[in-house]
Amino acid sequence: MVEFGENLRNLRLRDKLTQAQLAQKLEMTKSVISAYETGLRFPSYDVLIHIAKIFKVSTDYLLGVENRQEVDLSGLSSEEIIALRNLIKAMKKK
Distance CA 88, CA 94 (A): 10
Q: What is the pLDDT of residue 66?
A: 74
CA nearest to 70, candidates 82, 88, 86, 83: 88
pLDDT tens digits, one per residue of 7-66 = 999 999 999 999 999 999 999 999 999 999 999 999 999 999 999 999 988 899 999 887
Is 69 contained in some domain?
Answer: no
Is 93 contained in some domain?
Answer: no
pLDDT tens digits, one per residue of 60-85 = 999 988 776 667 788 989 999 899 98
Is 19 contained in some domain?
Answer: yes
Is 88 contained in some domain?
Answer: no
Domain that holds residue 59: 2-63
Q: What is the pLDDT of residue 83?
A: 92
Is 79 contained in some domain?
Answer: no
